Chains A and B, each alone.
Chain A
Amino acid sequence: MNEHLISIILFTPLAGLLVLFFIPSSKKTLIKTWANISSLAGFLISLLLLRTFDKNYGGFQFVERFDWIPSLGIHYYVGIDGISLLMVLLTTLIGFVAILSSWEAIDDRPKTYYAMLLLQQTGMIGVFVSLDFMLFYVFWELVLVPMYFLIGVWGGPRRLYAAIKFFLYTLAGSVLMLLGILTLYFQHAEKFGYYTFDTSLLMRLDMPLHLQQWVFWAFFIGFAIKVPMFPFHTWLPDAHVEAPTAGSVILAAVLLKMGTYGFIRFSLPLLPKASMDQTIVQIIAVLSIIGIIYGALVSLVQQDWKKLVAYSSVSHLGFCTLGIFAMNPNGISGSIIQQINHGISTGMLFLVVGVIYERRHTRLISEYGGLAHVMPNYAKVFAFAMLSSAGMPLLNGFVGEFTILQGAFEANRWWAAFAVTGIIFGAAYLLWLYQRTMLGQVCNSKNLGLKDLSLREWAVFAPLIVWAIWIGVYPKPYFDILEKPVAQLVERVRPGYYAGPQEARR
């Protein structure tokens, strides 16, 4: 059980998918039920990881390693450390939530729809657990396809444009990334005489700086497009706006994290010199800060509810990347926590949009107003999501942002100074959105008869709410889980960081 736990988690959705194939398309309820069951099962199984996960051990756990294509040095090599553990849990939970959320929303070709969701689930988990670079790449690409369809088939009016844009953007990036990977691959072959994609082996070769920079930029493009960082972000709003609710939830909550995760798992440890290269760090930090402010500003003028949330993720992800390239324990761990938080809160925000979209089939903010009168519970949930996203203390958002700010402050005080403005704007656009949609009078008669949250929708929100509060009030366990892996990472990038006089007092 335990030694194959990762594989089990990885392939549970796939198994569900296989069974799904044998359910006739006509039995829609059965299909939905089954999809929900299998995703829930996936989540529950992933919880088993916590039982035996040893947070005092920095290396990878639950490791499985078999030859896959030996002649190319490709292995089926999976395992998790604290970082991937959190990511996997996030993925499984969000996957379940997303599937549950689309019970009523999707009635057109549900079989294919859920098949896509499950396939995507496997892909995403795969990205987070694979330690072989080619395996990683395969999963990375695998994720694209279902998302392409989710957007392109079940999406909004401009879905095709959005889908193709999403696909081309990310694909272009990942192809460049592949070149980078291959470079490492060859370097390793030159140095050690045999080809391998095993990251733990690739770790051994320290390439000259210029080469590292080259590879770093190749990776950077791939990851930055996924994140998305500032100049590469324009696929995001379109994709989000056009995607079905579940699609945007997964996109925001998990897919974007693949990019940041890529930075943490591959760019930094594999290319330590380049990662510490000042020009690179400066550029990325500046891009991140631009992203933070820019995303917030643009959200401020959005007329489309979903687009606003989409741009807000640009801003939030800016925090994450900034934290990573602060290159110190606080920055990195904060970034990881913030990724989880963003998954939770932005996921909730998109679900909130989805709930109203199901009822009214429009996302224009101007269409709404005074919903708090009609749907008080809905308003409460939205308020909660908004606050957690705006970084209200005692909710998850604050913990992440604050830790990142620590990191940024340590690295360069001005970064922190600029990043903080993001918090201000964050409050601004979210509150304004809230005011325009929830507060005021119900001036649109269409909104009068709207039903409040149904039990299922409560079930969708509940786990996220609980999680948000937990992280906000008692984040220590998460930091404990991250302590060791982050320490290793920092030690690799900045050897001797941990040496030096310790401050005793609290």
Chain B
Amino acid sequence: MWLDATFFYVFALMTLAGAVMTVTRNSAVHSAIWLIVSLLGVAGLYLLQRAEFLFAVQIVLYIGGIMVLFLFVIMLVNLDMAAKEKQFNGQAWVALACVAVVGLELGYFWMKGPGAFKLAQPSLPKAMVMGGNTERVGDVLFSTYLLPFEIASVLLLVAVVGSVVMAKKRI
């Protein structure tokens, strides 16, 4: 029980710290690294929530895929001069203020009706009666959510074509 909690706080800390670092680092490379940290934290949370498959996806796809992509691009467009310039634009403080306001408002929401947010007590894992998480995911994904799955394939196709069209010097 307390173990869960501890892990939660650890991962949460990872996530937030990583996020903050990502946003604040000067060099894009560092940001990328810290992003990885943050994503790992999220992955951990998936694990805590019994979403092992997502955990895997997160590790492999995000950290494996996207980050490589990012770093790749970072190499491609050399950012060292970008790293020297100032990192925050003119409206930074205004933006912070605004975001703070948003935060406060959300907080108010919370005050308003905490009941609304707590739907039910976190139920204990049902001792995985029906196969592992991955199986269940697969099950649902290919039955109930077949349609979005197909669309996603088209989506990825577009992503490929698009990035090629954009990035390639001449088609």
Q: Do chains A and B touch in the complex (CB under 8 A)?
A: no
